[in-house]
Structure formats: C-alpha cells, structure tokens
Amino acid sequence: MSDLPQLCDVLIVGGGPAGLAAAVRLRALGIGSVHVLERESETGGIPRHCAHSPYGLREFRRPMFGPAFARRLTAAAEAAGASLHRQVTVTALHPGGRVSLSTPDGMAEIDARAVLLATGVRESPRAVRLIGGTKPGGVLNTGALQGLVHLDGLKPFSRPLILGTELVSFSALLTCRQAGMRPVAMVEPNDRMTAQAPLRAAPLVFGVPLWLNTDLVAIHGADRVEGVTLATGSTTREVEVDGVVLTGRFRPENALLRASHLAVDPGTLGPEVDQYGRCSDPAYFAAGNLLRAVETAGWCWAEGRAVAGAIAADLAGRLPPRAAAQAVSVEGAGLAWVLPQRIAPAGPPPALPRLQARAARDLGGDLLLGGRRHRLATRPERRMTFDLPAVEDTVIRLEGC
Ligand SMILES: Cc1cc2nc3c(=O)[nH]c(=O)nc-3n(C[C@H](O)[C@H](O)[C@H](O)COP(=O)(O)OP(=O)(O)OC[C@H]3O[C@@H](n4cnc5c(N)ncnc54)[C@H](O)[C@@H]3O)c2cc1C
C-alpha cells in the first residue's frame, strides 16, 4: 500500500482499455501524477480473457488476441509513466474527488484533482433474468467462463446450453470449442438472432443447433446442472445439459455509482455526463462501457483518450462550467437512452463528439434534432449517432415512432 498516494492529479478507477488509454494520454498531455486502480491481479480489463481476435486494429494497427492486446495496453501505460495499482478495489466515491479503497494491506483514501471512472460492463446474472428451478453449480456468464478457461485452465462443463445470440454469445461459443466443450444448442427468445451478419452463419459453421423463439424457463440439478426446461410458446420440453452459459444483456458496472452522490441516468444505467464525459460532480469523469452497454474495446479505448483530453483541459481551467449544462430531453417514446445526457456551453472540442442513442424496440419514424430530420429504421442493438446539439437546442422530438 506504501506506493499508493494520498493526493494525486488524476485517479483512474478501472484498468481496462478505457482507463489505460486515458492514462497514456494524460501523461502525454503533461499531467504529473496519474494513478490507475484495478481490482484484479492484472490490468487489461475484459480483453484479458477474450482469447480471440480481432482486438487492436484501431489502437495498434494490427489484429491481436485479447490477452496480447491487454498486455500491450498495460505496457503502454507503464511506459508513459502512469502508476498502475493491482488488487485495489475502489469501495466508495465522495464529493470533490475523494475515494475510499480496499487493498490487500487494508483500507485507504485518496484525494484526486480529477477522478476518471472506467469500470466497464458486466452481463446480467441469473438472478435478474428470472429463471426458475434449482440453484446448482455450472451456471456462468461468458466473462466467468472465459476467466475459468483462459486464465485458470479449467473446463467447467462438457455439454452446456448457451443462452443468447449477441456478439458475446459467439465469444462464449468460441471459448467452448477452444476448451473442447460441445454446446448442446444456442437458445434465443426472439424470432431472429441479435448479432448481425456475418455471425448469423456461426452456429451452422460450428455445428451447434440454433433454437429461436425459445425461452430458458428453469434450470435443474442438485450440485451440478443436469438439465433445463425450455419453452417455445406454450410448449415446454426438457433437455439434458451439464452447464448453462448466460450471455449478453450487458449492464454498466455501476455498483459504485449507485452507492454514491453522482447522478445515474435511468436509461443507460451509467453516470449522467456532459459532452466532456463530466459527471454531476465535476471532479468526476467517466469513459468506456460504464457509460453505456455496450461498445467494442476499440471504441472504449478511443473514448478513454478523448475524455483524458477533457480532463487535462479541465485541470487547466478551460472547460465551460458543468452547472450551465442543459439536459437533453426526448419528446415521444421509442428511445432507450441518449448519451451524453447534458450539453454544456461550447468550449474545447467535446470528448463525446456525437450524440449516441439506442432504440427501445424495433423503431421506424422520424427523429428531429437541431433543425434536422433523421429517418429511423433501427433495432435496439444497433448503434445510432447524431450531430451533437448546441446547448440552446437540446430537445429531441420523435414523430411517427
Ligand atoms: C464477457 C465479455 C466479453 C466481451 N467480448 C468482447 C469482444 O470480444 N470484443 C470487444 O470489442 N468487446 C468485448 N466486450 C466488451 C468490452 O466491455 C470491451 O471490449 C472493453 O473491455 C471495454 O473497456 P472498458 O475499459 O470500458 O471496461 P473493462 O474492460 O470492463 O475494464 C474495466 C475494469 O475496471 C475494473 N473495475 C471495476 N470496478 C472496479 C472497482 N470498484 N475498483 C477497481 N477496479 C474496478 C475491472 O476489474 C476491469 O478490469 C466484452 C464484454 C464482456 C463483459
């Protein structure tokens, strides 16, 4: 614990792609003391256990496997002069940039001129998916499965069921195949896969049946999973499996936020930020997938760099006041969320240069913003971006949606 500071310029919570990219940029911009706190024993974030390509295209101009990408990000942050602290968990955020933390040596507090929150996302656990049955071992999210397989060299089951067809569901499928497991099926409650082409062919290529319009209603087993009940409409059936992988349905890793004084956006479930990534307490900033579920590692890396630029501008007194930021409001139903949620008066170039949004359901109609009309034909999982509105024009109107 002795190398942890009591005071610093910038404290970064989370050593994933967003946090590490921010650390590099802050040091390059001349910020003196930049400390990254990471609860795991290694920095690198989610890519550490994604043993597949393609990571690194935007950042290092070549395809890399996740673990190599994570190591490269870590080396870059260290070479830039940032201090990385592993096995340090931030446990509370206090007004003005003071955080509490837990380390292997005990509890501590640090005061920072600015704090960057970059704690990423996680997949929804079983509890919030309302799946019935018993509670045997062998029910995992993709992240936990990949940690066991790629970090611990374990094979938790042989014939699992994979629930979901998001991008990450195929990452789970790949991990199963790499570890010699043979998934019994991929199951999707909707009438089409969530992932877009070309991944639609993946179940066929891997020889794994894809069951659409199918819900996982119960998991059975005493100590270990022995089977599941699936439902298609009113018809149910029992299927023998020895594990279940619950994939996707990402949510920002917001436990710290929810317990703090910072405003949380009910749509994204991440912090409410302005176009500089600045939170309701202007000592705090946020970047990466904590802002919303879910973007790629490359996107989060770029976002970390951009918000680092805004933090440096803030420390130099060049950001417009957060108190003058106006809320973005939506007239009409159909959007799940927008980001940023507030627009500050014009100042240095924004860290979030586009207004990001997602549909709450399959959506057609028109979106009016900043005097422009955009024709919508989109689905909930698709990225939508629009020109950032000016502070005096922050109303989004939906027509015919
Ligand atoms: C299972 C899974 C698989 C994915 N697969 C892909 C993929 O194949 N390709 C892709 O582009 N994207 C993938 N993603 C999306 C992924 O979130 C991004 O790739 C990228 O890792 C996001 O970067 P980040 O820095 O925002 O967050 P993360 O990479 O999640 O990093 C956040 C870090 O914060 C740390 N942390 C959290 N809370 C605290 C705390 N209180 N104190 C200290 N440290 C803390 C975490 O341990 C973690 O290391 C996947 C996501 C998941 C969950």
Q: For every residue of the chain, which 3-state class applies, written as one string?
A: CCCCCCEEEEEEECCCHHHHHHHHHHHHCCCCCEEEECCCCCCCCHHHHCCCCCECHHHHCCCECHHHHHHHHHHHHHHCCCEEECCCEEEEEECCCEEEEEECCEEEEEEEEEEEECCCEEECCHHHHCCEECCCECEEEHHHHHHHHHHCCCCCCCCEEEECCCHHHHHHHHHHHHCCCCCCEEECCCCCCCCCCCHHHHHHHHCCCEECCCEEEEEECCCECCEEEEEECCEEEEEECCEEEECCCEEECCHHHHCCCCCECCCCCCECCCCCCECCCCCEEECHHHHCCCCCHHHHHHHHHHHHHHHHHHHCCCCCCHHHCEECEEECCCEEEEECCEECCCCCCCCCCEEEEEECCCEEEEEEECCEEEEEEECCCCCEEEECCCCCCCEEEEECC
Contact between residue 221 and residue 207 where contact means Cβ atoms under 8 Å apart: no
Give the pocket of ligand 1 (CB within 6 Å).
Answer: 13-19, 37-40, 45-47, 50, 89-90, 118-123, 142-143, 168, 171, 253, 256, 288-289, 294, 296-297, 300
Sorted by where each starts, the structural domains of the chain and their CATH numbers stand as 1-123+249-319 (3.50.50.60), 125-248 (3.50.50.60), 323-401 (no CATH)
% of the chain beyond a pLDDT of 70: 100
20, 71, 343 from 80: Cα distances, Å: 10, 14, 32
Please give the number of the atom of ligand 1 that sits closest to the Cα of 296.
11
Contact between residue 84 and residue 38 where contact means Cβ atoms under 8 Å apart: yes
Of the candidates 342, 345, 336, 352, the one whose C-alpha atom is nearest the C-alpha of residue 386 is 352
- By CB neighbour count within 10 A (0-12 exposed, 13-18 middle, 19+ buried), where does 95 fall? exposed
Alpha-carbon distance of 110 to 99, in angstroms, equals 6
Q: How far is the CA of 323 from the centre of ligand 1 (A)?
A: 30
Residue 267 has pLDDT above 70, yes or no: yes
To 5 degrees, how large is the angle CA 155–CA 295–CA 165? 50
Best of 119, 170, 295 to mutate for ligand 1, by most ligand atoms within 8 A of CB? 119
Q: How far is the CA of 142 from the centre of ligand 1 (A)?
A: 12
Residue 52 has pLDDT above 90, yes or no: no
| Contact partners, residue 176, CB within 8 Å, separation at least 6 | 145, 160, 162, 182, 183, 245
Alpha-carbon distance of 224 to 6, in angstroms, equals 46
Mean pLDDT of 174-183: 94
Nearest CA to ligand 1 atom 5: 168
Which one is predicted more confidently, 380 or 29? 29
- Judged by average pLDDT, the poorest of 8-22, 186-200, 224-238, 294-308 is 186-200
% of the chain beyond a pLDDT of 90: 91
Alpha-carbon distance of 74 to 64, in angstroms, equals 14
Mean pLDDT of 372-397: 94
Nearest CA to ligand 1 atom 18: 297
Contact between residue 339 and residue 268 where contact means Cβ atoms under 8 Å apart: yes
Best of 25, 46, 148, 246 to mutate for ligand 1, by most ligand atoms within 8 A of CB? 46
Please give the number of the atom of ligand 1 that sits closest to the Cα of 256.
41
pLDDT bucket at 73, cuts 50 / 70 / 90: very high
* pTM over the 0.85 mark: yes
Q: Identify the pLDDT of residue 195.
A: 85
Nearest CA to ligand 1 atom 37: 119
Contact between residue 356 and residue 383 where contact means Cβ atoms under 8 Å apart: yes
Which one is predicted more confidently, 32 or 401? 32
Q: Identify the pLDDT of residue 2.
A: 55
Residue type, 151: L
Residue 48 has pLDDT above 70, yes or no: yes
Alpha-carbon distance of 340 to 56, in angstroms, equals 26
Mean pLDDT of 108-112: 98
pLDDT bucket at 199, cuts 50 / 70 / 90: confident
Q: Identify the pLDDT of residue 307.
A: 98
Please give the number of the atom of ligand 1 that sits closest to the Cα of 304.
25
pLDDT bucket at 51, cuts 50 / 70 / 90: confident
Please give the number of the atom of ligand 1 that sits closest to the Cα of 303.
26
Residue type, 257: L
Strands 7-13 and 34-37 come out as parallel
Q: How far is the CA of 241 from the centre of ligand 1 (A)?
A: 29
Mean pLDDT of 313-326: 97
Nearest CA to ligand 1 atom 30: 120
Residue 288 has pLDDT above 80, yes or no: yes
Residue 198 has pLDDT above 80, yes or no: no
Please give the number of the atom of ligand 1 that sits closest to the Cα of 52.
8
Nearest CA to ligand 1 atom 12: 296
Q: How far is the CA of 290 from the centre of ligand 1 (A)?
A: 9
Mean pLDDT of 9-14: 98
pLDDT bucket at 77, cuts 50 / 70 / 90: very high
